Amino acid sequence: MSNRVTIDVQPTPDAAMRAAVERLADGAVRAVDASGRFTIALSGGATPRGLYTLLATPPYATHVPWPAARVFWSDERCVPPDDAASNYRLACETLLKHVPVAPEHVHRVRGEDEPFAAAVLYEREIRTALQTPHGPPTTKPGARFDVILLGLGDNGHTASLFPYSPVLDERERWAIAAEVDATPPVRITLTAPVINAAALVVFVVVGAAKAPALRLVLEGPRDPVALPAQLVDAIDGDVCWIIDAAAAAELSGA
């Protein structure tokens, strides 16, 4: 486990989103100060809606240097970009249409395409942006994601790394198609090596429904096949869990 794991319990979901904005902004500004840009992978599902809306709202909209952003996704559902289930659509509607990110710096997964081909194309875009045409991800500045946002499913999944999935063992590919026990059933996900090379991973987890999974992931026995969020173990980066009191209710320190 990375020695730089922090758990930030906030009293309410809104407070958790505000804390996540500041942590994300800090990671982005550090990257821009060092390299003039920052690469971020956005998470999907329902939780980020509040976070993205806040990020697009003054004064928070100027806390993140969006003109320097290169935007990717931690995972995407294999649906068209205008589908209600699309993580790209969620981020566009709540955030990307409201902040100054150049369209050419937004790298969506082509969810409308055949999944294997979409994953290959997406991986190529990531490798180009991270200046690593071949081989495993490294932690060299500019060769890894500066910020990766993740959520937690109530079954312990993160991104589209689901329990007992064969993609959990993937160590070569950076993005891969996965069949999951959820709707929509086919997704493209970043793999564990790419996530673990990141400079900063921010989990945002809110709501009582997540409390059992959160306790198992953070305090239960290590079982990353059953609890894929336990795969997240930054090689040389920070992992920050930003959770609200309801999601933290079953943690030992609660």
Binding site for ligand 6PG (CB under 6 A): 43-47, 74-75, 77, 87, 151-153, 157-159
Q: Which of 15, 17, 10 is nearest to 254 (CA)?
A: 10
Between 70 and 77, whose beta carbon lies closer to ligand 6PG? 77
Between 28 and 41, whose beta carbon lies closer to ligand 6PG? 41
Between 10 and 74, whose beta carbon lies closer to ligand 6PG? 74
Q: Minimum distance between the CB of residue 146 and ligand 6PG, rounded to whole angstroms?
A: 19
Spatial contact of 91 and 69, defined as CB atoms under 8 Å apart: no
Q: Minimum distance between the CB of residue 87 and ligand 6PG, rounded to whole angstroms?
A: 5
Between 68 and 247, whose beta carbon lies closer to ligand 6PG? 247
Between 46 and 254, whose beta carbon lies closer to ligand 6PG? 46
Q: Minimum distance between the CB of residue 77 and ligand 6PG, rounded to whole angstroms?
A: 6
Q: Minimum distance between the CB of residue 134 and ligand 6PG, rounded to whole angstroms?
A: 27
Between 68 and 119, whose beta carbon lies closer to ligand 6PG? 119
Q: Minimum distance between the CB of residue 128 and ligand 6PG, rounded to whole angstroms?
A: 23
Residue nearest to ligand 6PG (CB): 151
Give CA–CA dist 65/71, Å, rounded.
12
Q: Minimum distance between the CB of residue 239 and ligand 6PG, rounded to whole angstroms?
A: 15
